[in-house]
């Protein structure tokens, strides 16, 4: 069965073709980051318009790469939510129009379920059950995953998401959006021991997170260390990045360990954009060796938003598909 996946929840148009027998055949992505950079964040109306421009050419490119025609598609999966309403509507409309024209089922997929299942696209894929750490620009959640559709929320952020903390701290340091990759790169050259930043809720005794205090600590540090012109010298900036990254990685790692202990599970899956962070991966790999659990990551290219995870989650959900073309979007939507 060949599933076309369409992701358009935020600032990336992602299209993919997933075959339930042979795996991922093609995936294409257009990132709008350059377009939004001058505004310091995503402008929803610009995002919607760009999705409209990109979605069909990317679909055609995927079909060409896979050597398939649109008539070969057996089902269409799209991101139904959560996300920006206008951006979601582009994917929802195209998916449902295609489904109607081709008389094929259309499945609305939860964006976080896409992220959550994306490590199953890697080799080796994790077996159920597992603990999933979802760390993206909008979410930070720990879930117990017992099967497709069987998700239990164990803990989540009470304020900012981990990716949001990266992005906001990057902005305070004069770095452009999205800040995660840049903070991470600078951190590699910095000294993490020069500044000590807080580890919010590390000892809260539950599996919740809080990152807004960390961002405020970065703000205070920037104010204290800034030069006369209001900027930081390069070495100080790298040291702040290193201290920030170390704090966030320590909290994420220790909460994952606590979730494994609490549930007795032995497999950990990392999903979402922050899952691309090399220090987080190194910290978790190290803990996995010492504590004898397995850790799984999506392929690096599938860590951030993409169509492949939507095609895959849609394929997994196909048996629940209702081809009634009564479609909508859910800009706010909890997975569990």
- Scanning 21-29, 82-90, 184-192, 305-313 for contacts with Zn ion by CB under 5 A, the matching segment is 305-313
Is 179 near ligand KG4 (CB under 6 A)?
Answer: yes
Is 163 near ligand KG4 (CB under 6 A)?
Answer: yes
Three-state secondary-structure class, residue 184: helix
- Where in 222-241 is the site for ligand KG4 (CB under 6 A)? none
135 is in an annotated binding site: yes
Which of 3, 305, 312, 313 is in the footprint of Zn ion by CB under 5 A?
A: 305
Is 138 near ligand KG4 (CB under 6 A)?
Answer: yes
Contact assessment for residue 62 and residue 28, using Cβ atoms and an 8 Å cutoff: yes
134 is in an annotated binding site: yes
Identify which of residues 13 and 277 has a Cβ nearer to ligand KG4 in the complex: 277
Q: Which residues pair with 155 in a beta bridge?
A: 142
Identify which of residues 93 and 182 has a Cβ nearer to ligand KG4 in the complex: 182
Question: Using CB distances below 5 to 8 A depending on partner kind, what does residue 166 bind out of ligand KG4, Zn ion, none?
Answer: ligand KG4
User: Interhelix angle for 44-66 vs 85-102, to 10°?
Assistant: 40
Q: Mention every residue, 6+ apart, whose C-beta is less than 8 A from residue 215.
A: 160, 165, 168, 169, 172
Identify which of residues 81 and 126 has a Cβ nearer to Zn ion in the complex: 81
Which of 59, 79, 136, 184 is in the footprint of Zn ion by CB under 5 A?
A: 136
Question: Using CB distances below 5 to 8 A depending on partner kind, what does residue 7 bind out of ligand KG4, Zn ion, none?
Answer: none
Which of 99, 272, 307, 314 is in the footprint of ligand KG4 by CB under 6 A?
A: 272
Go through 126-153 and write b for each residue having 16 or more CB atoms within 10 A of its CB, e for each that does not.
Answer: beebbbbbbbbbbbbbbbbbeebeebee
Question: What is 68-130 written as a DSSP string?
Answer: --GGG--EEEEEEESS-HHHHHHHHHHHHHHHHHHT--EEEEEHHHHHHHGGGGSSSPPPSSE
Q: Where on the phi/psi map is residue 81: left (φ > 0), alpha (ψ -120 to 50), or beta?
A: left
Three-state secondary-structure class, residue 35: helix
x/- string (CB under 6 A) for ligand KG4, residues 292-311? ------------xx------
> Which residue's structure tokens are 């849609």?
314
The residues of the shown chain that bind ligand KG4, judged by CB under 6 A, are: 136-138, 163, 166-167, 178-181, 184, 272-274, 276-277, 304-305
Residues of this chain that interact with Zn ion (CB under 5 A) are 136, 305
């Amino acid at each position: 069965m060949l599933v076309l996946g369409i992701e358009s929840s935020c600032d990336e148009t992602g299209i993919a073709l997933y075959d339930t027998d042979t795996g991922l055949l093609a995936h294409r992505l257009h990132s709008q980051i350059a377009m939004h950079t001058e505004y310091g964040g995503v402008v929803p109306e610009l995002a919607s318009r760009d999705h409209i421009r990109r979605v069909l050419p990317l679909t055609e490119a995927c079909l060409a790469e896979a050597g398939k025609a649109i008539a070969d598609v057996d089902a269409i999966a799209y991101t139904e939510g959560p996300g920006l309403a206008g951006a979601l509507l582009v994917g929802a409309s195209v998916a449902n129009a295609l489904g109607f024209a081709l008389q094929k089922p259309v499945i609305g997929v939860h964006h976080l379920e896409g992220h959550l299942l994306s490590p199953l696209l890697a080799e080796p894929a994790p077996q159920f059950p597992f603990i999933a750490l979802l760390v993206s620009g909008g979410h930070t959640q720990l879930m117990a995953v017992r099967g497709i559709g069987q998700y239990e929320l164990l803990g989540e952020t009470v304020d900012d998401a981990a990716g949001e903390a990266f992005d906001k701290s990057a902005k305070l340091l004069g770095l452009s959006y999205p800040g995660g990759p840049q903070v991470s790169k600078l951190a590699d050259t910095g000294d993490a021991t020069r500044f000590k930043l807080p580890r919010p809720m590390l000892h809260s005794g539950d599996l919740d997170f809080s990152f807004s205090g960390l961002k405020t600590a970065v703000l205070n540090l920037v104010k204290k260390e800034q030069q006369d012109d209001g900027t930081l010298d390069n070495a100080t900036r790298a040291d702040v990045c290193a201290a920030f990254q170390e704090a966030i990685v320590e909290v994420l790692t220790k909460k994952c360990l606590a979730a494994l202990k609490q549930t007795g599970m032995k497999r950990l899956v990392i999903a979402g954009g922050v899952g691309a962070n090399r220090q987080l991966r190194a910290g978790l790999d190290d803990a996995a060796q010492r504590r004898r659990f397995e850790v799984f990551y999506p392929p690096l290219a599938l860590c951030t938003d993409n169509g492949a995870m939507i095609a895959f989650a849609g394929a997994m959900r196909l048996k629940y598909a209702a081809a009634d073309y009564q479609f909508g979007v859910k800009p706010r939507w909890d997975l569990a």
